[in-house]
Amino acid sequence: MRIEAVAGDITTEHVDAIVNAANSSLLGGGGVDGAIHAAAGPRLLEACRQLRRTQLPTGLPVGHAVATPGFDLPARWVIHTVGPNRHAGQTDPMRLASCFTASLDVATSVGARTVAFPAVSAGVYGWDVREVARVAVGAVRDWAAGHDEPGVDLVRFVLFSEAALGAFAEALEA
């Protein structure tokens, strides 16, 4: 499984699935969540509302992941995950790692072979992007090592700033 880091806007990525740094409500927000909903179109919010009416009546827990179609996005799927919010005292790196591994499990279940991640929790949720990079790269590497036949061929971290790109490049060199 190839793992890479690039600078860019995740909404333009031509991969099978992009991961959204959502909140537990799944009803949109700012940051990458806002960008993905804007690019995917209103059907994405309706799909999320349907999830809240059915399988996720109390919302998506931190560290969990769920897929919806990508609608107007180039990506076929959006995999929504909820990162730990440092401002709410959620500082356990295992909960952040779970965002990445749960998203890869969901990717495998929907048949997505190429997956793009943002730096989950490194924005509004207040985590240092260097720690996010270390946790994310470690979690993806551990996930790949634990799967003889990983259903995912490519994981691409798509970073929205030079600082974030530098942090992930450094984590990938470790």
Q: Does 7 participate in binding ligand APR (rule CB under 6 A)?
A: no
Candidates 27-35, 87-95, 142-150, 165-173: pick the segment binding ligand APR (CB under 6 A): 27-35
x-or-dash string of contact with ligand APR, 69-108, rule CB under 6 A: --------------x-------------------------
Is residue 31 involved in binding ligand APR (CB under 6 A)? yes
| Residue 33 annotated in active site | yes
Q: Is 28 exposed, middle or buried (0-12, 13-18, 19+ CB in 10 A)?
A: middle
Cα–Cα distance for residue pair 116/157, rounded to 1 Å:
6
Q: Does 121 bind ligand APR (CB under 6 A)?
A: yes
Residue type (1 letter), 114? T
**Could you say which of 48, 104, 120, 133 contacts ligand APR (CB under 6 A)?**
120
Burial per residue of 65-94, b for 16 or more beta-carbon CB atoms within 10 angstroms, e otherwise: bbbbebbebebbbbbbbbbbbbeeebeebe
We find the least distance from the C-beta atom of residue 146 to ligand APR, in angstroms, to be: 25
Q: Return the number of the residue (10 or 107) whose C-beta is nearest ligand APR.
A: 10
What minimum distance in Å lies between the beta carbon of 8 and ligand APR?
7
| Chain-centre distance for alpha carbon 159 | 12
Q: Report d(CA 89, CA 139) in Å as an integer.
A: 21
Task: Verify binding: residue 124, ligand APR, rule CB under 6 A.
Answer: yes
Q: For residue 13, give the nearest of 141, 125, 114 by alpha carbon.
A: 114
Residues listed for the chain: 174
Catalytic one of 33, 128, 148, 153: 33
- The verdict on 158 binding ligand APR (CB under 6 A) reads yes
Does 171 engage in binding with ligand APR (CB under 6 A)? no
Q: At what angle do helices 31-40 and 42-53 cross, to 10 degrees?
A: 110
Using CB under 6 A, list all residues that contact ligand APR.
9-11, 21-23, 29-35, 83, 118-125, 158, 160-161, 164
